[in-house]
């Protein structure tokens, strides 16, 4: 998420918004949605891979945020708290999904979406994107979580540590391992 996405007139911090939304201010909660929509969506999209399910998961994440605002500790970082809810939502869905067959996952691949949304990009670029996504898909869930939070949602090591309730050192080592594996896979595909 970048600063440009934020409405210029909303000067409140995330924590202030959360407190205000808790007291029943719906406009401030809508502001929270608009601020975090891209970040939460990117987590869900990369974790779940399926765009429809990712959108659903992101919406459910905000519903959960709304009903659990009273559990939020205003002294902590709101974005990390929101991300941890999103990660948990994705974990739940992945667990449920694992009960279905592998076919389900293959059918709901996001390739189609890419073709539609990136009609203007060249073939090589599309292929690269697809290969990278497939490579990420092959990573173990723990490594994938760290990589997604770092590379797609741009959280710092400390924030990731808070989100996943692990140590910063663990975050770094997991990120290193994830990147290493990714490099391996991409090398095999002659992408790098």
Partner 1 sequence: LTGCDKIEALLWEKAYGTISEEDNELLRQHLADCADCRKIQSTIEALGVSRRADEEFISGIGADEFESSVMRKIRARESELRFKRDDKGYMVRMYFSVGLAAAIVAFIVISMGDLERFVIPTKPAAYNRVNAPKQYYDTFHIELQPGRTEEPPEPAGRVSMERGEESREKAEPSAIQPSQEESGAELEESDVAKLFEKEQKAEVPEPAPRLLTIIPKEKAEPEAVEKKKAEVIKPDMHFDFRSANEQQPGALTARRMKGISEVTSDLDVGQFQILNQPVTNPAPDSVEINSIYLIDESIPFASQQTRAYLPQVRVDSGSVQSVETPRSVLVTVEKMPIPVKIIPPEYPVWARKNGISGTVWVKAHVNDDGDVVEAEIESSSNPGYGFEEASLEAAKQCKYLPAEANGFKIGVWVIYPVNFVFNAEDIK
Residues lying near partner 1 in the complex (CB under 8 A): 26, 30, 33-34, 37-38, 41-42, 45-46, 51, 55, 58-60, 62-63, 66-67, 113-114, 117-118, 121, 125, 128-129, 131-133, 136, 147, 150-152, 154, 176, 179, 182-183, 186-187, 191-192
Give residues with Cβ within 8 angstroms of 157, minimum separation 6. 150, 168, 171, 172, 175
Shorter beta-carbon distance to partner 1: residue 70 or 99: 70
CA distance 122 to 152: 22
Please give the full DSSP string across 108-156, using - where no structure is assigned.
Answer: T-THHHHHHHTTTS-HHHHHHHHHHHHHHHHS-HHHHHHHIIIIIT---
Shorter beta-carbon distance to partner 1: residue 114 or 166: 114
Tell me how many degrees the CA angle 15-47-75 measures, rounded to the nearest 5: 15
- Cα 71 to the chain's mean position, in Å? 21
Question: To the nearest whole angstrom, how small is the minimum distance from the Cβ of residue 58 to partner 1?
Answer: 7
Shorter beta-carbon distance to partner 1: residue 1 or 101: 1
Shorter beta-carbon distance to partner 1: residue 62 or 164: 62
Shorter beta-carbon distance to partner 1: residue 98 or 153: 153
Question: To the nearest whole angstrom, how small is the minimum distance from the Cβ of residue 42 to partner 1?
Answer: 5
Question: To the nearest whole angstrom, how small is the minimum distance from the Cβ of residue 98 to partner 1?
Answer: 23
CA distance 133 to 125: 12
Shorter beta-carbon distance to partner 1: residue 91 or 191: 191
CA distance 149 to 159: 9
Question: To the nearest whole angstrom, how small is the minimum distance from the Cβ of residue 133 to partner 1?
Answer: 6
Q: At what angle do helices 51-67 and 78-97 cross, to 10 degrees?
A: 130
Question: To the nearest whole angstrom, how small is the minimum distance from the Cβ of residue 46 to partner 1?
Answer: 7
| Cα-Cα-Cα-Cα dihedral sign, residues 64, 44, 164, 31 | negative
Question: To the nearest whole angstrom, how small is the minimum distance from the Cβ of residue 101 to partner 1?
Answer: 26
**Cβ contact 49:137 at 8 Å:** yes
């Amino acid at each position: 998420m970048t600063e440009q996405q934020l409405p210029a007139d909303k000067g409140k911090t995330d924590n202030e918004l959360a407190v205000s939304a808790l007291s029943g201010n719906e406009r401030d909660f809508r502001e929270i949605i608009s601020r975090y929509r891209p970040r939460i969506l990117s987590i869900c999209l990369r974790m779940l891979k399926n765009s429809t399910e990712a959108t659903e998961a992101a919406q459910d994440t905000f519903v959960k945020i709304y009903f659990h605002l009273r559990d939020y500790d205003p002294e902590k970082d709101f974005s990390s708290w929101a991300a941890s809810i999103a990660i948990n939502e994705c974990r739940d869905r992945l667990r449920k999904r694992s009960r279905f067959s592998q076919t389900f996952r293959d059918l709901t691949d996001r390739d189609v979406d890419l073709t539609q949304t990136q009609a203007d990009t060249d073939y090589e670029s599309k292929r690269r994107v697809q290969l990278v996504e497939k490579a990420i898909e092959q990573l173990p869930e723990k490594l994938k979580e760290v990589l997604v939070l770092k590379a797609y949602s741009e959280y710092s090591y400390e924030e990731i540590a808070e989100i996943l309730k692990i140590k910063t050192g663990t975050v770094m080592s997991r990120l290193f391992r994830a990147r290493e594996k990714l490099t391996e896979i991409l090398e095999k595909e002659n992408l790098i």
